[in-house]
C-alpha cells in the first residue's frame, strides 16, 4: 500500500513549499511521475477527454475510474493518490458514498475528489461524516456545467466571489481535507488561502495557492480536445517533455 501520507502534504503547506500535482491515467506515466517526486497524482475524470476522446467529462463511468485508478495504483510507491468521483456517482448521497467507498477499497487510493457547488454540499457532508477523505473541487467544475461559456474565470463578480468563499468555509467546517480551485481569479485564490486552513491546490488560479496541478497531456502539448487557455504556455517553449515537467516542478516548489 501507499507510503504517501497526508502529513507530508500538510507539512509542505506549513513550510510554504509548493505542493506539486499532476494527472495520470496509466501505469507507465504514473511510475514516471512518481519517480520524479510528484507529491500528488490525480486520476482525473479528464480521462473522458484525453483518453476516451469525448467532448467533456460527463460520461466517465465508475468502471472507467476504477480501471484507471487501479492501473495508476500498481505503479505508484510514494505520491499521494487522489481519484475523481465521476459525475454519475455524485448525483445523490447514497450513490456517492457507495461509489467512493468502492474506489477507495478496490484501488487503494488515498483520497476522493468531488466537484462541488452550493447544490451538492449535502453530498460532501454525507461523505465526510462517513469517513471518506475528501478533496472538494470549486470554481470551474466541468461535471456540473453544460454550456461552453461556463469555461471562464470564476469570482469576478462580488456575488460569485462571496459565494465561493462561503462554500469553501462551509466545506472546511464539514471537514474536507483539501480544496482544488479551478479557474478562479488571483484575488479570490489569495483570499481563500488567507481564510482556509486545508491545502489549496490551484489550476489556472494564479500563483498564490499552496500547490498547482496540471493535466499531464496539456504539458505534453497534445490533447484530443483543445488545450485550455489556462495552461501556461511557457512550458511549451521547452523542447523535451522531461524538461517541461521538471520546470513545472521547480516553479511550483519555489515560487509560492
Ligand atoms: O479531472 C481532472 O483532470 C481535473 C483537473 C482540474 C486537474 O480535475
Nearest CA to ligand 1 atom 4: 44
What is the pLDDT at residue 256? Answer: 67
Beta bridge partners of 136: 114, 179
Is the Cβ atom of 215 under 6 angstroms away from ligand 1?
A: yes
Rounded to an integer, what distance in angstroms lies between the CA atom of residue 216 and that of residue 47?
A: 11
What is the pLDDT at residue 103? Answer: 98
Count the neighbouring beta carbons within 10 Å of the beta carbon of residue 26: 16
Q: Is residue 1 part of a domain?
A: no
Rounded to an integer, what distance in angstroms lies between the CA atom of residue 137 and that of residue 152?
A: 15
Count: domains in the chain: 1
Rounded to an integer, what distance in angstroms lies between the CA atom of residue 103 and that of residue 188?
A: 32
What is the pLDDT at residue 146? Answer: 74
Rounded to an integer, what distance in angstroms lies between the CA atom of residue 53 and that of residue 38?
A: 26
Residue 194 cell numbers, joined: 488567507
Q: Is residue 115 part of a domain?
A: yes
Nearest CA to ligand 1 atom 1: 44
Is the Cβ atom of 44 under 6 angstroms away from ligand 1?
A: yes
DSSP state of 60: -
Domain coverage including residue 224: 6-254
What is the pLDDT at residue 3? Answer: 65
Atom of ligand 1 lying closest to residue 113 CA: 8
Is the Cβ atom of 120 under 6 angstroms away from ligand 1?
A: no
Beta bridge partners of 113: 84, 135
The domain that holds 29 is classified in CATH as 3.20.20.60
pTM: 0.94
Sites in the chain below the pLDDT cut of 50: 1-2
Rounded to an integer, what distance in angstroms lies between the CA atom of residue 231 and that of residue 135?
A: 22
Is 115 assigned a catalytic role? no
Atom of ligand 1 lying closest to residue 21 CA: 7
* Among candidate residues 118, 97, 100, 117, the one with its CA nearest the CA of residue 109: 100
Is the Cβ atom of 115 under 6 angstroms away from ligand 1?
A: no
What is the pLDDT at residue 16? Answer: 94
Is the Cβ atom of 23 under 6 angstroms away from ligand 1?
A: yes
Q: Give me the catalytic one of 49, 115, 125, 182.
A: 182
Amino acid at each position: 500500500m501507499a507510503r504517501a501520507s497526508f502529513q507530508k502534504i500538510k507539512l509542505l503547506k506549513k513550510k510554504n513549499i509548493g505542493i506539486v500535482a499532476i494527472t495520470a491515467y496509466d501505469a507507465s506515466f504514473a511510475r514516471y511521475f512518481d519517480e520524479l517526486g510528484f507529491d500528488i497524482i490525480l486520476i482525473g475524470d479528464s480521462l473522458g477527454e484525453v483518453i476516451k476522446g469525448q467532448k467533456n467529462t460527463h460520461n466517465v463511468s465508475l468502471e472507467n475510474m476504477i480501471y484507471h485508478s487501479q492501473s495508476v495504483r500498481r505503479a505508484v510507491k510514494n505520491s499521494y493518490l487522489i481519484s475523481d468521483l465521476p459525475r454519475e456517482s455524485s448525483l445523490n448521497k447514497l450513490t456517492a458514498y457507495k461509489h467512493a467507498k468502492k474506489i477507495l477499497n478496490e484501488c487503494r487510493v488515498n483520497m476522493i475528489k468531488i466537484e462541488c457547488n452550493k447544490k451538492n454540499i449535502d453530498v460532501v457532508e454525507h461523505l465526510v461524516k462517513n469517513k471518506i477523505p475528501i478533496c472538494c473541487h470549486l470554481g470551474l467544475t466541468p461535471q456540473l456545467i453544460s454550456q461552453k461559456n461556463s469555461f471562464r474565470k470564476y469570482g469576478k463578480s462580488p456575488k460569485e466571489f462571496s459565494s465561493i468563499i462561503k462554500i469553501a468555509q462551509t466545506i472546511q467546517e464539514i471537514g474536507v481535507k483539501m480544496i482544488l480551485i479551478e479557474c478562479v481569479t488571483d484575488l479570490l485564490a489569495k483570499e481563500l488561502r488567507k481564510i482556509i486552513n486545508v491545502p489549496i491546490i490551484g489550476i489556472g488560479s494564479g500563483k498564490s495557492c499552496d500547490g498547482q496541478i496540471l493535466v499531464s497531456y496539456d504539458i505534453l502539448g497534445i490533447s484530443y480536445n483543445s488545450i485550455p487557455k489556462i495552461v501556461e504556455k511557457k512550458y511549451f517553449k521547452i523542447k523535451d517533455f522531461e524538461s517541461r515537467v521538471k520546470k513545472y516542478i521547480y516553479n511550483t516548489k519555489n515560487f509560492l
